[in-house]
Amino acid sequence: MNLNRVVVVGASLAGVSAIESLRERGFRGDIVLVGAEDRLPYTRPPLSKDALATGLSESALRLREREWFDARGVTLRLGEAATALDTRDRLLWLGSGTSITYDGLVIATGSISRRMPMTLSMPTAHTLRTYDDAELLGRALERGGHLVVIGAGFIGLETAATARALGLDVTVVDVMPTPMYRFGEQVGIWYADLHERNGVRIVCSTGVDSLRAADDRAHVVLDTGETLTADTLLVGVGGIPATAWLTGSSIGFADGVRCEPDLSTGVPGVVAAGDVARWHNKVFDETMRVEHWTNAVEQGMHAAGTLLGESRPFESVPYFWTDQFEAKLRCVGRVSPEDDIAVLRRDETSLVAAYGRDGVIRGAVCVNAPRQLATLRNAIAQRADFREITGSSTDPVTTTP
């Protein structure tokens, strides 16, 4: 197949990585980058941390300057969301009503915030996914008062830590038994203690019964009967893949774009990368979708290679992180509360946990423990014996109930 024009849909980290890799691999045709936001691609992790605390700087957050795109002959179509895809005639339709022809297409549209319908008409309710979201939330936090966070995942807890540093009262509510429950109760309890030591109130095993706005505040009624009055409300209940624009196309999607192991989609000339891609990772013999920085970079590069004719499966040991207060969590591999979980180290300032299934180590969490991270990452890649790694001949050090 001759590639004269490649269109990258999504001004994201995965999209930029794909563009860089296309040029490095010698592609000399046209490249068009389509992005829904009217901004150059930017990095998102600081939006809940440093950038939220110190003030947003668009230039500081940019992944690449405009000159970088110009030097690589990239046509920018920013502020124009993709609305439909015609894979038969190879046409991408935009919100402006115009269309772009393509020979190759990279789907890198990432995720959008999951919404709670009851908050849609509440001016005090926020989500945090984009630069504009962070700008609105930052202005709200400047007013001080009480921040209520619904959802004790990365975004919710990182924002809670940032808000405490700014002097706000903070309450975090989650339906699960502990914060960050995806890592198991042991890790969740450690993080609950961390936040409570720093003045954050954690309310778990509790749902939201109703919400109402009054006097420029949000009144959050919990299913326990307690009412929280929030000057600012953040809904941090996860993201969903940005695939609605693919409806009616021949691209298969369900919780992400369904990809072959090499990140092709089964449709000629179309690949996917980043948060939006669901593929079979042979390292774990598991179909997965990973919403983190390193994966976006690596998949963007790999998808570009697939588009140019390479046919190698994308295999990786996922790696991601979160910084909250003085705790730097680094996670490698796959983790689940259903795994065997061995806590190898735990004190007030650090934590190390290994995750195993069917006798094989598959994941690890290291908080303020960089040396153990490197060792466990190698063990995961080698599919090492879980009991040997945890030093237990019968049972893990501790396991989930």
CA distance 284 to 331: 15
Which residue reads 């046409």 in tokens? 91
Q: Rounded CA gap, 244 and 125, in Å?
A: 24
Q: Which residues fall within 8 angstroms of residue 71, CB to CB, at 6 or more apart?
A: none
Kindly report the CATH class assigned to 5-112+239-307.
alpha beta
Query: Rounded distance, CA 146 to CA 199, Å?
Result: 12
> Closest Cα partner for 265 from 253, 274, 255?
253
Residue pair 301/328 in contact (Cβ under 8 Å)? The answer is: no
Same fold, 5-112+239-307 and 115-235: yes
Q: Does domain 326-390 match CATH 3.30.390.30?
A: yes
Return the CATH fold of 115-235: FAD/NAD(P)-binding domain (3.50.50)
The number of C-alpha atoms within 13 Å of 187 and in the hemisphere containing its C-beta is: 27
For position 328, what pLDDT does the model report?
Answer: 97
Q: Could you give phi then psi for residue 117, rounded to 5 degrees?
A: -50, -35
Q: What is the CA radius of gyration of the chain?
A: 22
What is the C-alpha to C-alpha distance for residues 173 and 154, in angstroms, rounded to an integer?
Answer: 13
Question: Which residues, other chains included, contact 26 with Cβ-Cβ below 8 Å and sequence gap of 6+?
Answer: none
Show the tokens assigned to 162: 């940032």
Q: What is the DSSP letter of 306?
A: H
What is the predicted pLDDT for the residue at 117?
84
Distance, CA of 226 to CA of 6 (rounded, Å): 54
Q: Whole-angstrom distance between the N-terminal and C-terminal Cα of the chain?
A: 54
Inter-residue long-range contacts of 219-225, CB under 8 Å, 24+ positions, other chains counted: 220/148, 220/150, 220/173, 222/173
Distance of alpha carbon 191 from alpha carbon 11, whole angstroms: 33
2 CB-contact burial (10 Å; exposed 0-12 / middle 13-18 / buried 19+): exposed
Helix (H) or strand (E) holding 100: strand 99-101
- 284: which DSSP letter? T
Contact criterion met (CB below 8 Å) for 371 and 352: no
Q: Please report the pLDDT score of residue 367 as a whole number.
A: 98
Please answer whether residues 391 and 345 qualify as being in contact, where contact means their C-beta atoms are separated by less than 8 angstroms.
no
Distances (CA, A) of 57 to 42, 132, 144, 163: 10, 12, 21, 18
- Report the alpha-carbon distance of residue 365 to residue 388 in Å, rounded: 17
Q: What is the mean pLDDT of the chain?
A: 94
Let me know how long the chain is.
401
pLDDT tens digits for the chain (401 residues)? 689 999 999 999 999 999 999 999 999 999 999 999 999 999 999 999 988 988 899 999 999 999 999 999 999 999 999 999 999 999 999 999 999 999 999 999 999 999 888 887 788 999 999 999 999 999 999 999 999 999 999 999 999 999 999 999 999 999 999 999 999 999 999 999 999 999 999 999 999 999 999 889 999 999 999 999 999 999 999 999 999 999 999 999 999 999 999 999 999 999 999 999 999 999 999 999 999 999 999 999 999 999 999 999 999 999 999 999 999 999 999 999 999 999 999 999 999 999 999 999 999 999 999 999 999 999 999 999 999 999 863 344 443 33
Query: Are 132 and 43 spatial neighbours (Cβ–Cβ below 8 Å)?
Result: no
Tokens read off for 213 = 């706005």
Q: Per the structure block, which two tokens stand in for 239?
A: 């993201």
Domain positions in the chain: 5-112+239-307, 115-235, 326-390
